[in-house]
Structure 1
Amino acid sequence: MANTIVLAAGPNGLGVVRSLHMQGVKCQVITRDKNDITLRSKVPTIKLYADGSTDEEQQKWLLSILSTQPKNTVIIPTSDWYVTFLTEHSSVLQANCVFIIPDAELSEILIDKAEETIAVGKVIPIPKTVQQINNEQQLLNQLALPIIIKPRSHKHMVLGCKNIVINSRNELEQFFNTFGDKLEHLIAQEIIQGPDKLQWVCNCFFDENSELTQAFTFNRLRLSPSHYGVTSYAISKKNQDVMELSAKLGKALKYTGPAMIEFKQDPVDNIYKYIEINPRLGMCNFFDTSCGINNAYATYLLATNQALPQNNQMQENVMFVSFYEDLFSRLRDGESFFGVMQEYIKNFIKKRHIYIYFVWWDPYPAIVLAARQVSDIFKSAWRKVFN
């Protein structure tokens, strides 16, 4: 069995560790945060976190660790930062490490949303997009409100948040007043209207010939933060249209490895339009595994030159829950506590559930996270009382 290291980032890394464990693959983990929830799992054989307070210091430390690993060590990244690190240092690391990601040129294109949307828009439908923002009038000429402003990549995080939604001309004017000197780091897109349930994700795997060998699709029901965040409540459903769009995109891009591809069905024309791709295993990868499609294990198999799984069938109508994030984002969005709980109970009775942090044979991450969340609630209440 090959030496395997998961470069872990939150639930993304925790899911990969558990997915490999279910196939008997032992692994080590490295995180960039000593509080990363993956470090609380009993599954990894070795747990490390990167030394250093800056990106440069952590990259230097990580390179020194990976450069001394046994030959043919399998490296599995679970964030864009790790993918960029691997591509930038591939000439050094490939002497003794194997990692299944798109080639350096394609990885950089897919991580930079300005380049990504140009490349993807040539293959499948995308929302109207402005890759180079110049001024307020330009956006109003090219896009209809509401629009969403996004950083181009993890290297361009100038907003102080994941994105900014602009609903009016006044908000657009405020945006330019605040970020007018940072426009080269940002892109703008026209927002596809409609509820969260029109959003779909395809977690899939492409072989060395860029053929889609397996795919898992799920319908997003809620996001955290609401509407423009990450999946907090979802149900597994096979969506052939989304799978075919993903297969077409992967083939056109000559993509190899795991991918998380997001779509939203436009209620105006009923067309599924591309939202985003993560050139790696995504946050919900243990959801895939629990429903029969283990993309983490497929990554390991291709890295070790073993045959990929054949004819895997996904289990439908399984619920995915990130409870704390979903509950509080829905309450902040104006839903009633009793209404939300009623929906939870109704689905719990009827359907199988997969929880983002909890599994009975590895309970500690969920216990630790619950304790942290309860502590945060009490601290927040305490501050409100005394302020």
Structure 2
Amino acid sequence: MQNETVFYNAHELKQAIEMDPLIQSKVPVLICNSHITGLAVARGLGRNGVPVIALDREAKGISFASKYVSKRGVCPNPVVSEKAFIQYLLDIGPAFKHKCVLIPSMDEWALAMAKYADELSEYYIWPFSSYATIQQILDKSQLYERARSLEVPIPAFEKITTKNQSTIPDRISYPMVLKPINKRAFYDRFKEGLFIVENKEQYEQKIKEAGELELIAQEQVNVNANGYVTIAVYMDGEQNVRGTFAGRRLEIYPPQSGTTCLVESIEAKDLSKRAVSILQAFSYEGIAECEFLYDENESEYKLLDINTRPWKWIGLPIHCGVNLPYLLYSYATGEGLTSVQNKFDTKWVYLNDYQTLKENKQGLFDGDILTKDEWLEILLNNTDESDLIITAVASMDDLGPSYQLLKNKFAKQSYYCPC
């Protein structure tokens, strides 16, 4: 029986790490946070024999229940206690016999680790870009300005300030997208990733609600349901591309302002080259997800966003032969593996959100997108080796997270995450 003890202070977790023979015998990985993204990363590493320590700001993260997590701890939330979080990492650091590889799964963790990478270097390997680079990419206004200088097509945008707030609607028409600079703080407050406003009244109201949170105004691009494409890349510290993957987003939840709940693997060589060239222009290192949308009016793909860490459906490229976390780990530990995508037209689904979306008669597509054969794979729990579809959580090889997800749904205060 797996020991699923959750440690609530750094001292106890440090002692547990010191006594774990697997963690002491190999280079371990520390992941955070520990919801859907963290689960996929833990499985992608653990199935290759890598010891994984999982952290989160609360104990309900579903990857805490995975058999591929060796140790789990509740740590300070870097959004509100950044220095306390870094001190937590420093407190457990002496327990590692080998330097531990850090893999964040959300922006706030990535920014904090990058900011204090030098202080953490005694105990940890930081295999991503510098704080300045990550901050530049995550700040949408800086990202778009840089993309514009590289002649990369982007949606029309402006950063909202007190000076230009009243005149932006003169240049960007409704419906208009309002996106946060700080994604996690925005999500914690509103439980959605962005605002879509239809008129001046909504525009002014949403800016007022956002308060001190910085926003950019962006045109809502005319894109059809098949026009959302993501290119995932792992680029090592010498700018070598170790793996790339392409996926098409099929559904998001909540509608319009949510995150992906259904996606399929595709082949997109030309767009992959564009994503790589953008990341190389930033001298980027690490795992990244580059989001594009196809503008029907201008007949071209526009760069929408770049995530500088693993993202929600990273389990799909892992399943399709591009194990980005393990490629990163292999480079960090001196092996330097590469891989190529070997499965196309395979789907990934987060059933919780997808079923809710379709039960409410919502979505980018009318009706259920999944085929009978895909549903049978899900219902018969055959997705672990399927070429048709995999699920975000369920796995016959690792049942604990499915039960944890069920417990979270029934809890008085449910676990939530924008990943």
Normalised by the shorter chain, which TM-score bucket?
0.7 to 0.9
Q: 2:157, 2:77 → 1: CA distance?
A: 37
Equivalent in the alignment of 1:251:
280
Pair 1:89-2:116 in alignment = yes
Pairing partner for 2:196 from 136, 158, 165? 165
Cα offset for 1:319? 1.0
Q: 1:141, 1:67 → 2: CA distance?
A: 57
Equivalent in the alignment of 1:345:
372
TM-score of the pair, normalised by structure 1: 0.87
Equivalent in the alignment of 2:72:
47
Q: Is the 8 A contact 2:248 2:264 kept in 1?
A: yes
Report the CA distance shift for 1:211/1:359 in structure 2 as closer, same or farther (over 3 A). same
Larger proportion of helix:
1
Equivalent in the alignment of 1:313:
341
Q: Which moved more, 1:276-285 or 1:46-55?
A: 46-55
Aligned length: 371
- C-alpha deviations, 1:275-312, integer Å up to 9, x for none? 111111111111111011000001101111212225x2
Q: Is the 8 A contact 2:292 2:301 kept in 1?
A: yes
Pairing partner for 1:72 from 93, 99, 108? 99
Cα offset for 1:22? 2.4
User: Following superposition of structure 1 onto structure 2, how do residues 293-372 of structure 1 map, counting pairs within 5 Å?
Assistant: 293-310=322-339, 312-332=340-360, 334=362, 339-340=367-368, 343-345=370-372, 347-348=374-375, 352-372=388-408
Pairing partner for 2:265 from 233, 236, 252? 236
Pair 1:102-2:129 in alignment = yes
AA matched with 2:314: N
Superposition RMSD in Å: 2.6
Equivalent in the alignment of 1:261:
290
Q: 2:259, 2:293 → 1: CA distance?
A: 14
Pair 1:274-2:303 in alignment = yes
Equivalent in the alignment of 2:62:
37
SS state of the match for residue 226, structure 2? Answer: helix
Pairing partner for 1:203 from 232, 239, 253? 232
Q: Is the 8 A contact 2:255 2:362 kept in 1?
A: no
- C-alpha deviations, 1:336-385, integer Å up to 9, x for none? xx943x74536436961110011110011112213433668xxxxxxxxx
Q: 1:26, 1:275 → 2: CA distance?
A: 35
Q: 2:176, 2:115 → 1: CA distance?
A: 33
Cα offset for 1:141? 2.3
AA matched with 1:357: V
Cα offset for 1:11? 0.8
Q: Which runs of 5+ in 2 are unaligned?
A: 1-25, 378-386, 413-419
Report the CA distance shift for 1:317/1:201 in structure 2 as closer, same or farther (over 3 A). same
Pairing partner for 1:129 from 138, 147, 157? 157
Q: Is the 8 A contact 2:237 2:285 kept in 1?
A: yes
AA matched with 2:81: D
SS state of the match for residue 247, structure 2? Answer: strand
AA matched with 1:215: T
Cα offset for 1:67? 5.7
Q: Which moved more, 1:132-141 or 1:249-258?
A: 132-141
Report the CA distance shift for 1:254/1:52 in structure 2 as closer, same or farther (over 3 A). closer
AA matched with 1:100: P
Q: 2:38, 2:115 → 1: CA distance?
A: 21
Equivalent in the alignment of 1:141:
170
Q: Is the 8 A contact 1:266 1:272 kept in 2?
A: yes
Cα offset for 1:328? 1.3
Cα offset for 1:37? 0.9
TM-score of the pair, normalised by structure 2: 0.81
Q: 1:343, 1:35 → 2: CA distance?
A: 29
AA matched with 1:362: D
User: Following superposition of structure 1 onto structure 2, how do residues 147-186 of structure 1 map, counting pairs within 5 Å?
Assistant: 147-154=176-183, 157=186, 160=190, 161-179=192-210, 182=212, 185-186=214-215
Q: 2:87, 2:204 → 1: CA distance?
A: 41
Cα offset for 1:237? 0.6
Cα offset for 1:223? 0.6
Q: 1:339, 1:47 → 2: CA distance?
A: 40
Report the CA distance shift for 1:48/1:155 in structure 2 as closer, same or farther (over 3 A). closer
Equivalent in the alignment of 2:49:
24
Q: Is the 8 A contact 1:226 1:333 kept in 2?
A: no
SS state of the match for residue 390, structure 2? Answer: strand
Q: Is the 8 A contact 1:6 1:76 kept in 2?
A: yes
Pairing partner for 1:10 from 3, 23, 35? 35
AA matched with 1:20: L
Q: Which runs of 5+ in 1 are unaligned?
A: 377-387
- C-alpha deviations, 1:203-246, integer Å up to 9, x for none? 21112232333111111110111133211011111112320111
Cα offset for 1:125? 1.3
Q: 2:34, 2:251 → 1: CA distance?
A: 22
Q: 1:79, 1:258 → 2: CA distance?
A: 12
Report the CA distance shift for 1:344/1:60 in structure 2 as closer, same or farther (over 3 A). farther
| Percentage identity across paired residues of the two chains | 20
